[in-house]
A and B are shown apart, each in its own frame.
Chain A
Amino acid sequence: MSNPVLYNYDLDENCYKVRLLLSCLGIEAETIAVDVFPGNEHLSPAIRAMSPKGSLPVLKQGDLVLHEAEAILAWLARSQKPDKGFLPNDPDTFAHVMMWLAFSARELDVAVRARVTAMMDAPGDIDALRSGAREALRIMEDHMTRQHFDDVEYVAGARATIADIALFPSFALSRDYNIDHDAFPALRRWARAVRRIDGFITMPGIPDYH
Chain B
Amino acid sequence: MSLRDWYPLALSRDITPGTSAGTRVEGHEFVVWRDAGGAAHIWEDRCPHRGMKMSFGFVRGDHIACLYHGWQYDSEGQCRHIPAHPDLDVPATIRIARFAVLEAGGIIWGCFNEVDGNLPRAPELPAATTPVRSLFIDCPAQRLTALIADIPFEGSAPNVTTRTGRIVGITLGDNVLIAAVQPVSGSESALHLIATGALESQHLKQISTWSEQLRREVEALTSKDNDGEIAA
Contacts and interface: CB of A to CB of B under 8 A. Distances in A.
Interface in A144-163: 145-146, 149-150
Contacts of B134: 185
Interface residues on B, range: 20 to 34
Interface string A138-178: 00001001100110000000000000000000000001000
Interface string B7-26: 00011001010010111100
Contacts of B133: 145, 185-186
A145 B212 CA distance: 11
Contacts, number: 41
B22 A146 contact: no
Contact of A149 (B24, B58, B136, B201): B201
A185 B205 contact: no
B99 interface: no
A175 B23 CA distance: 15
A182 B30 CA distance: 11
B205 A182 contact: no
B22 A180 contact: yes
Interface string A175-192: 100001111011011001
Nearest to A139: B212
A103 B137 CA distance: 23
A192 B11 CA distance: 17
B11 A185 contact: yes
A149 B19 contact: no
B102 interface: no
6 contacts: A181-B22, A182-B21, A182-B23, A185-B10, A185-B133, A188-B19
Interface of B: 10-11, 14, 16, 19, 21-24, 55-56, 58, 67, 133-134, 136, 190, 201, 204-205, 208, 212
